[in-house]
């Protein structure tokens, strides 16, 4: 199989020849349109995205619309298969692992329509689902979601991972990290350990240490503003170690490193377009919100209305308030201190 890339290192064509040289099988793959050309004709699949997440795929007059867990950004919750112009259809429910990789898909009757067993780095080595559908005379389903943010391309065997393509057979990306050494020394690495790390954008090999706010965990006491100030202080130390909880540009990194007062840093970065947002909202989460309101691990930095891009991630983003400040949020904590220690301990 030959892979063709554009000048920006984006894969745009994969070509695979069968035993007959005059009958090639080629596939043009990408995030918006995928075209499969064989001797039997051409099939086109179109993709619709909600931010960085796949919202819908459409092939001919059939659509598959995806819904995600509101508390886990990359964990699929359900899929609705329906005709393009219809308002309803067949609903399927996902069971995913802790990192958002689908393990089973069930229908409205509770019957398993798909299940998968993963290899060490995301390759589905065994799929089971079709026997029940065949016995019942129902259509079989294709389940292409894999690791967080990945879409399996059956024609190439690669996983589309937003900014890059990932080869699950070898556990590496097919191209270098677009952010260069900011993502780690290994430019093709997916993650140090896929059991506890994810890279949904295909950008950061040295990802954050994140975990759920389990009842057994202790939280630092304090007010909301205290948590944000503490988080900026930990972010400064993380950036100094060569990391960051998001991809800061050179000017932003310079401000973070040079502003030594945490409260002042919070104010300056707010003017530059970033807000410290409580992952588990204080309001609307009962005892959970109160427990974690002062802990810096409960803070994620999101773009606000001052950001040069014009996009208010804090108000409208999936990690933020999703369009209304009344919407509470829940999610995994960000342990910047442990992430920094991991970076420092790496040889």
pTM for this entry: 0.56
What pLDDT was estimated at residue 275?
Answer: 97
What pLDDT was estimated at residue 21?
Answer: 36
What are the residue ranges in the chain where pLDDT is below 70? 1, 4-41, 129-134, 179, 181-185, 192-198, 200-207, 345-347
8 Å CB contact between 33 and 46: yes
DSSP annotation of 141: -
CA-wise closest residue to 335 among 254, 256, 235, 252: 235
- For every residue of 87-112, DSSP letters joined together read S--EEEEEEE-TTS-EEEEE-TTS-E
Q: Output phi, psi for 228, to 5 deg.
A: -65, -45
**Gyration radius (Cα) of the chain, Å:** 22
Angle 51-204-30 from CA coordinates, rounded to 5°? 50
What pLDDT was estimated at residue 34?
Answer: 58
Angle 183-237-99 from CA coordinates, rounded to 5°? 50
8 Å CB contact between 63 and 87: no
What pLDDT was estimated at residue 301?
Answer: 96
d(CA 13, CA 15): 7
What pLDDT was estimated at residue 305?
Answer: 96
What pLDDT was estimated at residue 39?
Answer: 55
**C-alpha dist (Å) from residue 123 to 2, 95, 246, 293, 342:** 20, 18, 27, 39, 26
What pLDDT was estimated at residue 293?
Answer: 97
8 Å CB contact between 93 and 113: no
DSSP annotation of 140: P
DSSP annotation of 198: -
What pLDDT was estimated at residue 88?
Answer: 80
What pLDDT was estimated at residue 133?
Answer: 67
Q: Is the dihedral of CA 108, 111, 114, 117 positive or negative?
A: positive
What pLDDT was estimated at residue 181?
Answer: 65
d(CA 59, CA 11): 21
């Amino acid at each position: 199989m030959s892979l063709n890339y554009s000048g920006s290192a984006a894969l745009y064509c994969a070509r695979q020849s069968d035993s007959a040289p005059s009958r090639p099988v080629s596939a043009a793959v990408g995030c918006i349109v995928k075209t499969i050309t064989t001797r039997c004709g051409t099939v086109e699949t179109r993709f619709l995205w909600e931010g960085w997440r796949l919202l819908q795929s459409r092939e001919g007059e059939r659509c598959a619309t995806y819904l995600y867990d509101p508390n886990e950004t990359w964990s699929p919750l359900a899929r609705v298969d329906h005709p393009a112009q219809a308002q309803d259809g067949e609903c399927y429910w996902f069971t995913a692992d802790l990192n958002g990789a689908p393990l089973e898909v069930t229908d409205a009757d509770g019957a398993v329509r798909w299940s998968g067993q993963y290899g060490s780095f995301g390759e589905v080595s065994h799929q089971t689902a079709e026997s029940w559908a065949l016995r019942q005379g129902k259509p079989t389903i294709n389940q292409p979601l894999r690791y967080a943010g990945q879409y399996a391309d059956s024609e190439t065997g690669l996983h589309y991972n937003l900014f890059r393509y990932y080869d699950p057979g070898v556990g590496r990306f097919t191209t270098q990290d677009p952010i260069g050494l900011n993502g780690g020394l290994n430019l093709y690495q997916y993650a140090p350990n896929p059991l506890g790390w994810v890279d949904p954008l295909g950008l950061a090999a040295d990802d954050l240490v994140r975990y759920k706010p389990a009842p057994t965990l202790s939280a630092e006491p304090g007010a909301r503003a205290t948590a944000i100030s503490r988080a900026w202080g930990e972010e400064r130390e993380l950036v100094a170690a060569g990391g960051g909880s998001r991809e800061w540009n050179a000017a932003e990194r310079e401000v973070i490193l040079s502003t030594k007062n945490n409260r002042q840093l919070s104010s300056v970065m707010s003017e530059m377009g970033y807000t410290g947002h409580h992952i588990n909202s204080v309001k609307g989460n009962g005892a959970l919100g109160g427990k974690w309101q002062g802990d810096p691990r409960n803070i994620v930095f999101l773009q606000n209305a001052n950001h040069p891009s014009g996009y208010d991630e804090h108000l409208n983003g999936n990690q933020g308030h999703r369009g209304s400040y009344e919407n509470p949020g829940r999610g995994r904590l960000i342990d910047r201190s442990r992430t920094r220690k991991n970076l420092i301990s790496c040889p």
